[in-house]
């Protein structure tokens, strides 16, 4: 946990309807550290089941992480995701309750948002609405924060709509950016907040 100056900003939270078990699909494009963290957090929770890890990159390291965790994976193309309703139908067939974007870079198509309103959650490595939008991900965000001489940064967990990083916020946590902080320093602090808070917010969403 980051031990510097930290503020927690609770936002709107829509809990899921009470059910015996919550079925979660995870989407990722990169290394999958958040996917692994979330899966481990819920490892002993018999009220949560992960249906699949969906990935748009065949060489993404998240696929190796998922295999070690015993999670099913699904690699998909741009056409399957946004050019048709293939993925939407698979999610429906799996009786998916909640979709978690954990480092997933593509914009979610309108058909998917419509099929799962307020049931798609994303985490962004900045305090939205600052440093959001197309192309703002990963180190690009942290470099922009440092270049802009921001005095604070943090994470935003939010619902997903048809536009990049514009859905209603659920939760924010922020920290002080020191004048001596590099983009790598900011990235490290962000990762600590992601690992601490993302699983807990998901748990609040699914808790009966």
Average confidence (pLDDT) over 104-120: 94
Contact 26, 115 (CB under 8 A): no
Residue 83: alpha-carbon gap to chain centroid: 23
**Residue 159's beta-bridge partner residues?**
121
Tens of pLDDT, residues 135-162: 898 899 999 999 999 999 999 999 999 9
Q: How many CB atoms lie within 10 A of CB 79?
A: 9
Sequence-ordered strand ranges (E) for the chain:
6-10, 22-28, 48-55, 73-75, 98-101, 120-124, 152-159, 169-176
List b or e across 151-184, with b for residues whose CB sees 16 or more CB atoms inside 10 angstroms. Answer: eebbbbbbbbbeebbebebbbbbbbbbeeebebe
Which stretch of 11-20, 34-43, 127-136, 146-155 has the lowest confidence by average pLDDT? 11-20
For each of the domains in the chain, give its residue range(s) and CATH number, in order of start.
6-206 (3.40.50.170)
pLDDT at position 14: 55
Active site residues: 124
Tell me the CA distances in angstroms from 128 to 26, 154, 175, one per residue in order: 22, 9, 14
Integer Cα distance of 118 and 11 in angstroms: 14
Both tokens assigned to 47: 């009220």
């Amino acid at each position: 946990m980051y031990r510097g100056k930290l503020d927690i900003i609770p936002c709107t939270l829509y809990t899921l309807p009470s059910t015996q078990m919550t079925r979660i699909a995870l989407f990722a494009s990169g290394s999958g550290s958040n996917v692994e963290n979330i899966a481990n957090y819920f490892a002993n929770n018999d009220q949560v089941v992960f249906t699949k890890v969906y990935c748009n990159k065949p060489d993404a390291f998240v696929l190796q992480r998922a295999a070690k965790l015993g999670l099913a994976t699904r690699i998909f193309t741009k056409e399957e995701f946004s050019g048709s309703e293939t993925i939407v139908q698979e999610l429906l067939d799996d009786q998916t309750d909640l979709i978690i974007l954990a480092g997933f870079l593509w914009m979610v198509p309108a058909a998917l948002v419509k099929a799962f309103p307020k049931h798609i959650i994303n985490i962004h490595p900045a305090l939205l609405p600052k440093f959001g939008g197309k192309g703002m991900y990963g180190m690009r965000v942290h470099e922009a924060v440092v270049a802009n001489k921001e005095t604070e940064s943090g994470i935003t967990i939010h619902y997903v709509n048809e536009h990049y990083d514009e859905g209603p916020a659920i939760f924010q946590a922020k920290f002080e950016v020191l004048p001596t902080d590099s983009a790598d320093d900011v990235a490290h602090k962000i990762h600590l907040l992601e690992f601490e808070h993302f699983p807990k917010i998901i748990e609040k969403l699914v808790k009966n």
